Amino acid sequence: MKVAFFSTKKYDKDFFEQTNEKFDHELTFFETALNAHTASLAQGYEAVCVFVNDDLNKKTLEKLAGYGIKLIALRCAGFNNVDLEAAAENDITSVRVPAYSPQAVAEHAVALILTLNRKTHKAYNRVRENNFSLDKLTGFNLYGKTVGVIGTGIIGICFAKIMLGFGCKVLAFDIKPSDELKDLGVKYVAIDELLKEADIISLHCPLNEQTHHLMDADAFNKMKDGAMLINTGRGALIDTTAVVEALKKEKLGYLGIDVYEQESGLFFNDRSETINKDDDFLRLMSFPNVLITGHQGFFTREALEQIAQVTLQNLSDFENGNELENEVPA
């Protein structure tokens, strides 16, 4: 199958080309993101492979359909960047990688918690300057703390299990509770109770109309003073303006994010020699109790191998007319 890959980096090409030896698809890699302006690059291809910040809105999809594209292969779990209704109208099928390495993202969420709490990033910089003072590096024990997990899909389950291992009390909220977590002692509660009781809240839910700006000013007001918020899901789960205000008022004690509401065009690129004009992002970076990573939660060898394997299998299944296990319903 002839496939145009968008928003690619060297690691994408390396892992996909290696895995493709077993599939023999014809792959072309473009560094540019896919949107209505770059859709013309898909001419002559049968499918496009896209990532989290490619913009597959109605206009983009109409152009892709005009070029004969029949399949969108998302090499990620989320699909909020695809207008599924418009895709269906243009007879374009979408497939995804629903569970490439849930442990990778869950472990990164824990890394954010531990770094924010024990301030290891600050200690590292001090020691490199021969400063061995412990002043202002005080943390807290995770043992015995209440952790709230919003969204208990595969990643949320992995995260909850890790926090249980730390000896935390775990509360959860999801429209479809996990029997596995219930059996392990996780208590499902209403979201308002979770916000009120949790010392640490971690977001693992998909982004949709119901969860957009889930963490808004009202949610922050309901949270425990000084609580920690972690987001390794999608940036728009958090209202950026509201979280800045919560930090300014010291209502929110810590913020750790691997995703950002306006990350498109910012993350996944070296911008060290450019001026960042995103005022909200700059405000976040100014807080000493905020830790930001550039959407690297998925970024492990195991995850990249699984992403390539599942994506290429999705392409083969579509090409051969097989059942599409990972199809995204319209």
d(CA 12, CA 219): 37
Residue bearing tokens 């509201």:
242
Choice among 62, 263, 283, 323 that is catalytic: 263
Q: Is 234 labeled as catalytic in the residue annotation?
A: yes
Which one of the listed residues 180, 234, 301, 305 is annotated catalytic? 234
* Active-site option among 25, 75, 96, 295: 295
- Is there a catalytic annotation at residue 108? no
Catalytic residue flag (residue 295): yes
As annotated, the active-site residues are 234, 263, 295
